[in-house]
Amino acid sequence: MEVKHIKVSEQVQQALADNRPVVALESTIIAHGMPYPQNVETSKNVESIIRKNGAVPATIGIIGGEIIVGLNEEEIEYMGKNGRTTVGKASRRDIAAMVANKLDGATTCAATSLIADMAGIDVFCTGGLGGVHRGAEHTFDISADLDELGMTRTMIVCAGAKAILDLPKTLEYLETKGVTTIGYGTRTLPAFFSSESAYHVDYRMDTEKQIAETFHVQKELGIQTGMLVCVPIPKEYEIKSEEINPVIEKAVEDAEHDGVTGKDSTPYVLARVKELTEGRSLAANIKLVYHNAEVAAKIAVELCKLR
């Protein structure tokens, strides 16, 4: 599918034309989610995992006003090195402004979902979903990721909403938006760093085939919403909720004290959690992204069989 202002790499173009599985990837995790050079190394490893599991990776970003679906190694390196200086955070609201003014933008879950849908890619893999922030009843700080899921037909494979968020309010908001939440092998909502939480998803599904069939039926019915597939972090890499929750609360308090709000709050809090856990949270983040990539690729493979 050709859309003005979007450049799709030859490899991704060919895969889509041949009905081969493609998995979209965001670039905010590269530019703002991890320090250099771990961010670039993680991105390359994620792409490698997707290829090993039978799909084609399509990392999405905006460079010099050009939306690119399928960043090459040089472009990923550029994102990783310049993320905290010249690369902005691109959500739905930013895309047109960044393109028109030839800016650089690392795509969030919301923007990546939208661009993936424009390019004809059904499956998108990330670390954790944005959501309703703690204290949102006072600040109205709710990630655009949730609204995007409510109106863009993309399947997001992740480790649940980021644990720094208000998980029950996030689930309520997704329900309001008509988004189906699926637990991969679990009825419990994963909490990013932790494999379990006190909350439940809508459905448990144990195989990639079952998940692919559900998404396929949703498309056949013409239901114009996304689908959220929550994959628990492998238990050997998790940080238990009783350990990580006090750390998150401290990081959120620090953000409030320092006056950090809006789109700057998530990277600030995640960086603070990394400091307070002496790097353990970053290691867990990387492992869960790798696991998500494997599952997403396998779902994309199954989805192609149904077309």
Residues with a catalytic annotation lie at: 26, 162
Q: Give me the amino acid identity at 172.
A: E
**Cβ-contact 228, 179 below 8 angstroms:** yes
CA geometry: angle 201, 174, 286, nearest 5 deg: 65
How far apart are the C-alpha atoms of 12 and 24, rounded to whole Å? 10
Closest to 177 (Cα-Cα) out of 144, 199, 204, 203: 144
What does 171-223 look like in DSSP terms, one character per residue?
A: HHHHHHTT-EEEEET-SBPPBTTBS--S-B-SEEE-SHHHHHHHHHHHHHTT-
Closest to 24 (Cα-Cα) out of 41, 40, 9: 9
- At 162, which helix (H) or strand (E)? none
**Joined tokens for residue 197:** 């939480």
Residues with Cβ within 8 Å of 57's Cβ and at least 6 positions away in sequence, in order, are: 22, 23, 25, 46, 47, 50, 51, 70
Give percent helix, percent strand, percent coil of the chain, each to the nearest 5.
50, 20, 30
Rounded CA Rg of the chain: 18
How far apart are the C-alpha atoms of 193 and 254, rounded to whole Å? 20
